[in-house]
Amino acid sequence: MTRRIPQEETARSSFEPAGAGAILAGTSIAGIGLGALVGWGAGSVGLGAVAGAIVSVPAGVFAVYRKYRGYFT
């Protein structure tokens, strides 16, 4: 007869503020840069960068949430 060994609970992922900030900053910088490139192609780098910032900040928040969603539940 086989003996059942109780399984250990999986450890919750730890929240790392520096890691969350890096993800948020990286996503924001990438979005602003991509927006500036699109704006450059369209004739206005500044407006493209602003549009990229408007889109990338919520995207960065979502990326941090996806990375650390186990911590918040």
What is the residue extent of each domain of the chain? 35-73
CA angle 64, 65, 70 (to 5 degrees): 115
- How many whole angstroms separate alpha carbon 32 and alpha carbon 19? 20
Tokens matching residue 23: 């993800």
One pLDDT digit (tens) per residue for the chain, 73 residues: 667 766 666 555 577 889 999 999 999 999 999 999 999 999 999 999 999 999 999 999 999 999 988 886 6
Quote the DSSP letter at residue 72. Answer: -
Say what the pTM is: 0.73
